Chains A and B, each alone.
Chain A
Amino acid sequence: MAHVSIPSYWISLPQKYRLIAGKCKDCGYINFPPETLCGKCSKPKTQELIELPGRGTIYTYTIIGRGAAPPEFKKMQSKSGAYAIAVVELDNEQKNKVNVQLTDCDPYKVEIGMPVTAVFRIIYEQEDVIRYGLKFRPELKNPK
C-alpha cells in the first residue's frame, strides 16, 4: 500500500535529508518546510532556502511499544524492539521544532533537554525502494 507515493516522498527530500527551510526575506520568519505563503506575514514566494542546524535538544518524547507503530515500521520494530520518537527543538534562533525518530540510544534513557544530533538513516522500505531520512541520536562528542 503506497500511502506515501515515491513522488510525495521525493518532494520532502530536502527537508528529510538536509532540514531545508524557507527564510522569509521580508519578515525573517523561518518556514519549515518552505511554503508558498510565509507562515507569519503571508507574503507569497519571499522565502530563500536555508539549511537548519542538525543539532538540538529534546522537547518531548514517547516510546513506541508493540501495536503503536504504523505497518511500514513493522520490519524495523522486529529488529529494534521499542523505539523512541521525539519533538526536537533545533539549535537555531527560532528554535524550529521537528518530529523525528531517535536512534542509537536506549529509548528508556531519553530525557527532555538531552542534546541530540541528526544522522542519515533508513526510515523504511516500501515498494522495494529504501526511503532514507534524518533521525536524531544522543550527541557523540570527542573527549577533550
Chain B
Amino acid sequence: MKNVAIISCGQSNFGSFVEKTYEDLFADAYLESLKHIKNFEASDIEEAFIGSLAFGGSQLGNMSALVTDSINVVGIPAARVENACGSSSFAFRYAVHSIMSGQNKIAIAGGVEKMQDISKKSRLWWFGVAGDIKWERLSGMTFPGNYALMATRHMYEFGTKKEDISRCAVKNHKYAAMNPKAQFRNEITIEQVMKAPIVAWPLTVFDCCPLTDGAAITILCDAEIAKKYTDTPVYVIGMGAGTDHLALYRRESLTRIEAAIKASKAAYQMAKVEPKEIQVAEVHDCFTIAEILAYEDCGFCKKGEGGLFSHEGQAEVGGKTPINTGGGLKAKGHPIGATGVSQIYEIWKQLTERHQNQVNGAEIGLTHNVGGTGSAAAIHILKRG
C-alpha cells in the first residue's frame, strides 16, 4: 500500500454569498490551493471525490460533474460522497484509499455547500432530511434538539456545567476573529452565550453553528512524488471511520458518539500515535456540546471530563490540545459538505506553519468530522513531512 501526502489545500471564504454559485465557490478554493503548489497542472488530477449534502436540493444530483467542470478537469472520474455533515471527510477518506491502492497517483478531495439562499420554510425542512424522520423529526425537533438531548444527559451523568459547554463557542469566536476567511469576526462572551434565546434547551442561539456558503479542496498524491510539488508535504498517517444507528433513541449511550470513538481508535492504531501526542486538532463543533463530546471521544481527556477540559482552557492555544484554531464550525462556519475538507485545510496550515493562529512546532494533527448526530464519523491523523 502506498503512503499518501497532502501537497496543497485551499478554502473559499466562508459566510453568506448568495451571489456566488457552487462553481464560483469551488474555483475560489482551488485557486488558493494553486498558490501553494509548484509544477502542477489541472490535468495532473486523476480523480475527484466531492462531498456535499446538496442542501436546498437545487443540484441534488451530479454535483461532482458541476464542480470538476469549474476547475477545468472535465472528463476525470468523479463522484459525490454524502454522509451529511461528514461528507467531505469521507470524500477525503476515499481519495486517500484511491492513492493507497495504487489506482491513482494524484487525486483531489473537496466539498461545497450553499445554504444561505434558501427560504426560511425550506431551510427548516432541509434540516430534517438527514435525521431520523419517523420519531426524531415527528417528535418535533431538528438537529439542535438532538444535540440538546445529548447535552442534557451529559450534564446529568457527569455534572457538566453549561458555562463550560458554552466556553467552546467563546474560544472559537476568538480564533475566528483572527481568521480572514471566517464567517464571524466578532468575539463573544460567556454571558452572551448563556443569555441568548433558547433554541433547544440547554442550547442557545450562540451554542449553534450557522448556515454557511463555502468550499474547500485538498490535493493528494502518492508520497513518493510529493516533493515534486511541495517542500512541505503533510502525510496521512492514520485514518478511521465508523457509523452508528441513525436515531439517538436506538443508541446505547447518549453521552458519546460511538462512530467517532471507533474512528479515533482505528486512526490512532494505524498511526501508532496516542491521543496525548496530538498537538493540534479540528473537531466537529456543530453545537458546543459536540466539541465537549469530541474531547472525550478522541481521548484528549477522560470520559465525562470534557467540561473540565474546557474549563481549564486545555483546548486553547497554549493548552494541552489546541482545538479549532481557525474558529471551528461555530465561528468559521459550517458549509455542510465542505466542512470535512476544511478541517484538513486548517491542520495542513498548522503543520506547514502557515496558520494565522499558529501552534508552534506542531507536527501531528487530527481532524474529527461527524455526520448528522453521529450516524457517521471519520477521523484523520496528519503528520508534517
Please state if B127 and A63 are interface contacts (CB–CB under 8 Å): no
Closest CB-CB distance, B28 to chain A, in whole Å?
Answer: 30
How would residues 130 to 147 of chain B score, 1 for a CB under 8 Å from any chain A CB and 0 otherwise?
001111111111101100
- Residue in chain B with minimal CB distance to A33: B134
Please state if A68 and B141 are interface contacts (CB–CB under 8 Å): yes
Excluding A71-B121, A83-B140, A123-B138, 10 further A-B contacts by CB distance (< 8 Å) are A3-B125, A60-B152, A62-B149, A67-B197, A70-B137, A85-B141, A87-B249, A87-B254, A98-B135, A107-B201
Check: B198 CB closer than 8 A to any chain A CB.
yes
Check: B150 CB closer than 8 A to any chain A CB.
yes
- Residue in chain B with minimal CB distance to A11: B134
* Among candidates B152, B197, B249, residue contacting A62 with C-beta atoms closer than 8 Å: B152
Please state if B124 and A71 are interface contacts (CB–CB under 8 Å): yes
Closest CB-CB distance, B148 to chain A, in whole Å?
Answer: 3
Binding site for A on B (CB under 8 A): 121, 124-125, 127-129, 132-142, 144-145, 148-153, 156, 197-203, 205, 247-250, 254
Please state if B200 and A63 are interface contacts (CB–CB under 8 Å): yes
Closest CB-CB distance, A45 to chain B, in whole Å?
Answer: 20
Closest CB-CB distance, A120 to chain B, in whole Å?
Answer: 14
List, in ascending order, chain A residues with CB within 8 A of B200's CB.
62-65, 68
List, in ascending order, chain A residues with CB within 8 A of B199's CB.
64-65, 67-68
Task: Knowing A3-B133, A99-B136, say if A70 contacts B141 (CB, 8 Å).
Answer: yes
- Chain A interface size range: 35 or more
Closest CB-CB distance, B125 to chain A, in whole Å?
Answer: 6
Check: A59 CB closer than 8 A to any chain B CB.
yes
Please state if B124 and A69 are interface contacts (CB–CB under 8 Å): yes
List, in ascending order, chain B residues with CB within 8 A of A87's CB.
149, 248-249, 254
Task: Knowing A70-B137, A71-B124, A87-B248, say if A60 contacts B153 (CB, 8 Å).
Answer: yes
Q: Most B CB atoms within 10 A — which of A59, A71, A86, A98?
A: A71
CB within 8 Å: A-B pair count: 111
List, in ascending order, chain B residues with CB within 8 A of A124's CB.
138
Please state if A60 and B254 are interface contacts (CB–CB under 8 Å): yes
Closest CB-CB distance, A106 to chain B, in whole Å?
Answer: 12
Q: Most A CB atoms within 10 A — which of B129, B135, B203?
A: B135
- Residue in chain A with minimal CB distance to B251: A97
List, in ascending order, chain A residues with CB within 8 A of B133's CB.
3-4
Task: Knowing A99-B136, A112-B156, say if A1 contacts B145 (CB, 8 Å).
Answer: no
> Mind listing 11 A-B residue pairs with CB under 8 Å?
A1-B125, A3-B128, A12-B134, A16-B134, A60-B152, A62-B203, A64-B145, A68-B144, A76-B140, A85-B141, A99-B139
Please state if A60 and B139 are interface contacts (CB–CB under 8 Å): no
Check: A66 CB closer than 8 A to any chain B CB.
yes
Assembled-state Cα–Cα distance A103/B211 (Å)? 31
Assembled-state Cα–Cα distance A67/B142 (Å)? 10
List, in ascending order, chain A residues with CB within 8 A of B197's CB.
65-67
List, in ascending order, chain A residues with CB within 8 A of B148's CB.
62-63
Please state if B140 and A70 are interface contacts (CB–CB under 8 Å): yes
List, in ascending order, chain A residues with CB within 8 A of B203's CB.
62
List, in ascending order, chain B residues with CB within 8 A of A82's CB.
198, 201
- Residue in chain B with minimal CB distance to A87: B249
Closest CB-CB distance, B247 to chain A, in whole Å?
Answer: 7
Assembled-state Cα–Cα distance A108/B132 (Å)? 25
List, in ascending order, chain A residues with CB within 8 A of B153's CB.
59-60, 112
* Among candidates B141, B149, B205, B249, residue contacting A69 with C-beta atoms closer than 8 Å: B141
List, in ascending order, chain A residues with CB within 8 A of B254's CB.
59-60, 87
- Residue in chain A with minimal CB distance to B255: A60
Closest CB-CB distance, B199 to chain A, in whole Å?
Answer: 5
- Report the 10 A-B pairs with minimum CB-CB distance, sorted nearest first: A62-B148, A63-B201, A65-B198, A60-B153, A99-B249, A97-B249, A99-B135, A62-B200, A68-B199, A71-B124
Assembled-state Cα–Cα distance A109/B144 (Å)? 20
Assembled-state Cα–Cα distance A108/B200 (Å)? 12
* Among candidates A68, A85, A97, A108, residue contacting B139 with C-beta atoms closer than 8 Å: A85
Please state if A70 and B124 are interface contacts (CB–CB under 8 Å): yes
List, in ascending order, chain B residues with CB within 8 A of A71's CB.
121, 124-125
Closest CB-CB distance, B159 to chain A, in whole Å?
Answer: 13
Q: Most A CB atoms within 10 A — which of B140, B148, B203, B250?
A: B140
List, in ascending order, chain A residues with CB within 8 A of B134's CB.
4, 12, 15-16
Please state if A73 and B140 are interface contacts (CB–CB under 8 Å): yes
Assembled-state Cα–Cα distance A87/B135 (Å)? 10
